[in-house]
Amino acid sequence: MLNLDFTVSREESGVRLDRALSRMLPDSSRTFLQKIIKEGCVFCNGKCVTVPRFPVQHDMKITVNMPELVLPEAPAAEEFDFPILYEDDQMLVIDKPAGVVVHPAAGNHEGTVLNALLGRYPSLAEGLSTNNRPGIVHRLDKDTSGCLVIAKTPEAQFHLGNAFANREVSKTYLTIVRGIPPRQTGELVTLIGRHPVNRQKMAVVERNGKTAITSYRVLGSGSINDVKLSLLAVRIATGRTHQIRVHMNHLGFPVLGDQVYGGSRAKVEGVERQLLHAWKIEFPHPGDRRKCAFKAELPEDFRKVLCFSAIDAEI
């Protein structure tokens, strides 16, 4: 059993216990956290609390006795064949290719980043009893390429997870969208939640969603077969599911190739995936908290569209 200790910040004071834990343990679902609270695995200032809605207070000491997870089947170790942008004894940063899923899920049990990590670092498998995603501190959609940060130890995963949860990570993406925004820069602040009709999609909603903050800058524009296109640098201050894709489509400029949110408007001949690339990332090192900054160069399919559309931008 793994014991985790936290101290409630001033900003978290008054928040429900399950909500506070979901921010402290971003890799765990709210349902799972509510379950372990009710099972008596969570202590506040040394006293067992079994009510998920219990309000936490500033400076309160929270201890979580994380139970072992029973997995239906452990992910298989596979060959690691990803470009490494950086590596030390606590973490590594890879350039994830498009088409690769980050961790196993329904319909994707093989060929994921986690499978490859278990092949390169067998010691990560020791954490599978308490964490079904050892090393994984954030994710990219299957068809999104670019910078992916990975922890090599449980301690590093804990600190990197907190950095993401506390918005200490700066992420900049490059994307090609259909259309030309009327302003060179812009920001969108909305709620994002499940689509009211298609529950497999996300959408901008008026209630029952989470705050999502996206800002963008137009780097250049062009066209392919009279279809106007723009290259954008996009920064996200939050990490909601499909955030950039949802926000760009909401603005009327869907990500090129994103047929889930952009439909037929996102189609351009020769583009076979959503053109979204995790270009730059900055965050505090999990060991000494020094500033780390990395960049993943654009993949070939992205560059071809820039060339064919005559988009000229310094990247």
Strand pairing partners for 108? 105
- Give the number of other Cβ atoms within 10 Å of residue 8's Cβ: 21
Question: How does DSSP assign 217-262, residue by residue?
Answer: EEEEEEEETTEEEEEEEEEESS--TTHHHHHHHHHT-PBTT-TTTS
First to last CA, the chain: 47
Q: How far apart are CA 103 and CA 118, in angstroms?
A: 11
Q: How far apart are CA 221 and CA 216, in angstroms?
A: 14
β-strands 202-205, 84-87 pairing: unpaired
Give the list of residues 6+ apart from residue 154 with CB closer than 8 angstroms, or none.
2, 127, 131, 134
Q: What is the DSSP letter of 1?
A: -
Which of the residues 27, 95, 141, 143 is marked catalytic? 141
Q: What is the DSSP letter of 198?
A: -
β-strands 185-194, 202-205 pairing: antiparallel
Is 95 an active-site residue?
no
Asked if 126 contacts 81 with a C-beta cutoff of 8 angstroms, the reply is no
Asked if 281 contacts 171 with a C-beta cutoff of 8 angstroms, the reply is yes
Q: How far apart are CA 247 and CA 254, in angstroms?
A: 8
- Phi first, then psi: give them for residue 266, nearest 5 degrees: -90, -5
Positions marked catalytic: 141
